[in-house]
Structure 1
């Protein structure tokens, strides 16, 4: 290819003059196909046919695309896109066209593919690295480094890196490989990838090469002579003609302190079809510096992406927390002859503890408390399932053993096998003081009598979700004026101090009984606050290890 500026000849297909740096290509097309693959094509002044046929200049493997679908032409300094009587038509900026002039940033849509057209009267970003000045390396490196470092999102960083390396090396095609979430190496971004061919065998060979480089942390060079080698330092290839070059981008962090090995973040594979690349010391210095800057930018972009992902998760968890809080009673229901106070705090954003207070008919109150196995989102989802089931059936069913049986069946059918819930459900008839209940594996509520005695409402059924049939045995106690009932989850009894010692039920029982005895006029809220102070005293500022829910009910004399 002959340069009109310096009248010298460069390698066929070169993007820039190898002598003066004059740009040969006139425009760029960024192709995003129906599979999401991102490819950049450099456009010169000849015609480009776009279609499904393998002989087309830009091939789109899409059944909705005609064999010869459209053409890009260059006339009098202007690029045009022309529809070639295709079956499904060609769109430019969402409008169907027959032939139209292309402007910078136009979007061409052919089938499911989108082709973004870039045509600049001035310089393209990669033009900067072909400017010859007295301080070529330092100035050029600063420019391309600023271009890379100005990006935050990983794809933007990778685009700047790959464009810079391709332009610097005059490579006709390139692939940037990175490991996916499972650790498998995949082509993340390409340039003029059609020149690599569609051969699965070729991609397999390149993948094998990339995996070797990820293991040994070295660069790879394929010499004109056919000799192949892995190299630690790029200076080895100075002045030598190369057909293919693969650059490993090594992390700044040491992975193995004994071997001083570094993790490979990505690999750039560059080729020139039927041609060779010759690197002088200037280009090698710039290429190594550019690779170093690329590593810094990739690490920063990864951190930025992780921060964005964490922020998104935090926002979603905050929303989940708000939703879950609305599932719990916003206000304590008013019940004759009964004083009630409640407290619930999740271990993290959302939790698996649940309590509810629901009116039953006109003379009773339904009391529910549950603890879902595990923590976090999974437990919260089961909690919402349990709450929905209870509220859906409480209008027509209030026998504790039937409630337990129905919810057990729902949890078995709709949750994973390793999830279960302990559940205490009672119906309290406040006029008679009768408390009818079934305890399905839950921490037994503590009943403190005014005569100084106490009892636990022990389990009569397995936790929900374990057995196929789990009806339980209903029991009844009579509560009298002044009696106190403490409902709770294991976050109370398992609260830990700095030595990982649990508070324990005996300590809770003893201190609450003493407090109630010494303060017979104490209201439910005062008793609950006293218990929370005991928890804080025991944990002494240690982080909460589990969800914590308390509900105190005290029977008051009739007014």
Structure 2
């Protein structure tokens, strides 16, 4: 019995209702594409079909049947990416197909449908366009909703990381006659991978440190928060820098899966013995000004988290330190670039540090930052910048 045009319209209407119901039921993308495929097979009697849609910047085949070769995952030929917004089929030179049907949503090319059918589709073009539009707009909306959810999840993750990072830094730094410590921190993103700390060990000893984790953003901040917690726990158990660094390296190696590393400098000063013990773990050159001269504190070991155990480790002691100035920083400072693609570099920093330092250490940091801004001009910062300055008067 031959189907009348009224019967065909009823079938198409029922098909559209079923597809709309599937969309309303929030079925997965693959299920929607299967419904699309079987609706075309049943209602339009299409022998061969290939549906291409754009995913990110790539046009790929999402639905395919009837062809000699499986086209799923194949890319759309360039000449079909500029099809005009028009209703109906156009001829194609694509092997195995006799026509191509561009599907638009407003002015945007949403899909390209290649097909071959034993019957002329004619007035059924409108049905094909509506069906493809409903399916693909639903899939696009799913993608946008998923993207929004991912962005919201990242935003919440970022807020948590920022709160965690705020707990990393000491709430108060000493500003008394015998010890002044000042810190400056400028994250490149909302959260960064730099860390500094001051830990009062007892009435005569304190630890000051600075660190920089490879990588940026939330993962770097979380790895650094774990590092800080480990350091503070270790200082309560031992005052031996060798033991502290050995354990910090192991913790970082495990938590970072040997894929991330941390550069680290720590110094312990004893007011009673007037001795500074330090270790530099692959960090920048730390500047010690005392007795009218400058020492660069480089000795120690390699970066933490790459090798377990560390290939070598050695702490250093500097005796007879009464009045001194200790400047720590991360490489975001010296690796700031200007518009000529020149880095600020250590030579400019050391010349600046040779100058007389203001009594107010915050002014000292402001002066360095001003020099840095003058140097970079309109070029943005590309990394976190952290400075920690200690001034000791112990006479």
Does the 8 Å CA contact 2:210/2:329 hold for their aligned counterparts?
yes
SS of alignment partner, residue 502 of structure 1 = coil
Secondary structure at the aligned position of 1:496 is classed as coil
8 Å contact from structure 1 (residues 235, 284) kept in 2: no
Q: Are the equivalent residues in 1 in contact too, given 2:61–2:76 (CA < 8 A)?
A: no
Residue 333 to residue 170, structure 1, CA distance change in 2 (3 Å): farther
Q: How many residues align?
A: 381
Match of 1:399 in 2: 240
Q: TM-score, normalised by structure 2?
A: 0.74
Tell me the equivalent position of 1:108.
none
Corresponding residue number in structure 2 for 1:322: 163
* Residue 308 of structure 2: aligned partner: 468
Question: Which one of the candidate residues 465, 475, 489 is aligned to 2:330?
Answer: 489
Answer yes or no: is 1:452 the counterpart of 2:292.
yes
Q: Measure, in 2, the Cα distance between the counterparts of 1:407 and 1:439.
A: 13
**CA distance in 2 between partners of 1:204 and 1:390 (Å):** 64
- Contact residue 171 and residue 270 of structure 1 kept, 8 A: no
Deviations 1:90-125 (A, max 9, x none): xxxxxxxxxxxxxxx9xxxxxxxxxx6xxxxxxxxx
Counterpart Cα distance in 2 of 1:339 and 1:505: 24
Whether 1:208 and 2:70 are equivalent positions in the alignment is yes
Equivalent residue, structure 2, for 1:523: 360
Distance 1:214 1:532, change over 3 A: same
- 8 Å CA contact retained: 2:280, 2:297: yes
Q: 1:469 and 1:218 mapped to 2: Cα distance?
A: 58
Alpha-carbon distance between aligned partners in 2 of 1:388 and 1:447, rounded to the nearest angstrom? 27
Larger proportion of helix? 2
| Residues 199, 208 of structure 2: 8 Å contact kept | yes
CA distance in 2, matches of 1:287, 1:234: 11
Between the aligned partners of 1:534 and 1:166, the Cα distance in structure 2 is 69
- State the distance in 2 between where 1:419 and 1:22 align: 58
Q: Is the 8 A contact 1:214 1:248 kept in 2?
A: no
From 534, 538, 552, the counterpart of 2:375: 538
The alignment status of 1:424 with 2:265, answered yes or no, reads yes
TM superposition shift of 1:432 = 4.0
For residues 190-339 of structure 1, what are the structure 2 equivalents within 5 Å? 208-210=70-72, 214-215=76-77, 234=89, 247=101, 249=103, 265=111, 267=113, 278-280=120-122, 282-284=123-125, 287=128, 306=147, 309-310=150-151, 312-332=153-173, 337-339=178-180
**Higher CA-based Rg:** 1
Q: What is the CA–CA distance in structure 2 between the aligned matches of 1:343 and 1:393, rounded to whole Å?
A: 25
Residue aligning to 1:113: none
Shift of 1:299: 7.1
Q: Quickly say closer, same or farther: Cα 1:432–1:251, change in 2 above 3 A.
A: farther
1-side partners of 2:161 and 2:234: how far apart? 25
How far apart in 2 are the matches of 1:382 and 1:24?
A: 56
Q: Which residue of 1 aligns with 2:202?
A: 361
Distance apart, 1:413 and its partner CA: 3.2
Pair 205,472 (structure 1): closer, same or farther in 2 beyond 3 Å:
same
For 2:68 and 2:174, locate their aligned partners in 1 and report how far apart those are by CA, in whole Å: 69
Distance (Å, rounded) in 2 between the aligned partners of 1:19 and 1:250: 22
Counterpart-to-counterpart distance in 2, 1:25 and 1:409: 62
Q: CA deviation at 1:436?
A: 1.1
Structure 1: 5+ residue stretches without partners: 2-8, 32-38, 41-104, 106-115, 117-152, 189-201, 220-231, 238-243, 255-261
Decide whether the 8 Å contact of 1:439 with 1:458 is kept in 2. Answer: yes
TM-score (normalised: structure 1):
0.55
Classify the secondary structure of the residue corresponding to 2:388.
Answer: strand
